[in-house]
Amino acid sequence: MSGIRPTGYLHLGNYFGAMRNYVRMQDEYPCFFMVADLHSLTTHPDTRALSESVRRVLAENIACGLDPEKVALYCQSHVPETTELYLYFNMLAYKGELEKTTTFKDKARLQPDNINVGLLTYPVLQAADILLHRAHLVPVGKDQEQHLEMSRNFAQRFNHRYGEVFPEPQAFNYGQELVKVPSLDGAGKMSKSENQNATLYLADDDETIRKKLMKAKTDAGPTEPNQPKPDYIDNLFSLMRLVSSSEVVAEFEEAYTGCTIRYGDMKKQLAEDMVRFISPIRERAAAIHQDDAYLKKVMQIGAEKARESASKTMVQVRAAMGLNYY
Supply the minimum distance, in Å, between the C-beta of residue 25 and ligand ADP.
13
Distances (CA, A) of 162 to 234, 318, 320: 48, 10, 5
C-alpha–C-alpha distance, residues 44 and 118, integer Å: 11
Contact 139, 127 (CB under 8 A): no
Residue 134 CB contacts under 8 Å (≥ 6 apart), including other chains: 165, 166, 167, 313
192 catalytic residue (yes or no): yes
95 catalytic residue (yes or no): no
- Looking at the Cβ atoms of 191 and 244, the one nearer to ligand ADP is 191
C-alpha–C-alpha distance, residues 75 and 17, integer Å: 20
189 catalytic residue (yes or no): yes
- Looking at the Cβ atoms of 188 and 221, the one nearer to ligand ADP is 188
Do β-strands 2-4 and 32-35 pair in parallel, antiparallel, or remain unpaired?
parallel
Q: At what angle do helices 263-289 and 206-214 cross, to 10 degrees?
A: 150
Which positions touch ligand ADP (CB under 6 A)? 2, 4-5, 7, 13-14, 17-18, 140-141, 143-144, 179-181, 189-192
Cβ-proximal residue to ligand ADP, closest one: 17
Contact 142, 176 (CB under 8 A): no
Which residue among 142, 180, 192, 297 is the active-site one?
192
The C-alpha angle with vertex 179 and arms to 3 and 150, in degrees rounded to 5, equals 55
- Looking at the Cβ atoms of 17 and 169, the one nearer to ligand ADP is 17
- Looking at the Cβ atoms of 64 and 288, the one nearer to ligand ADP is 64
Supply the minimum distance, in Å, between the C-beta of residue 319 and ligand ADP.
32
Supply the minimum distance, in Å, between the C-beta of residue 181 and ligand ADP.
4
- Cβ count within 10 A of residue 188: 15
Supply the minimum distance, in Å, between the C-beta of residue 59 and ligand ADP.
16
C-alpha–C-alpha distance, residues 318 and 158, integer Å: 12
Q: What is the DSSP annotation of 191-210?
A: -SSS-GGGS-BTT--HHHHH
- Looking at the Cβ atoms of 102 and 227, the one nearer to ligand ADP is 102
Which residue among 105, 142, 189, 268 is the active-site one?
189
Supply the minimum distance, in Å, between the C-beta of residue 100 and ligand ADP.
19
> Would you name the residues annotated as active-site residues?
107, 189, 192
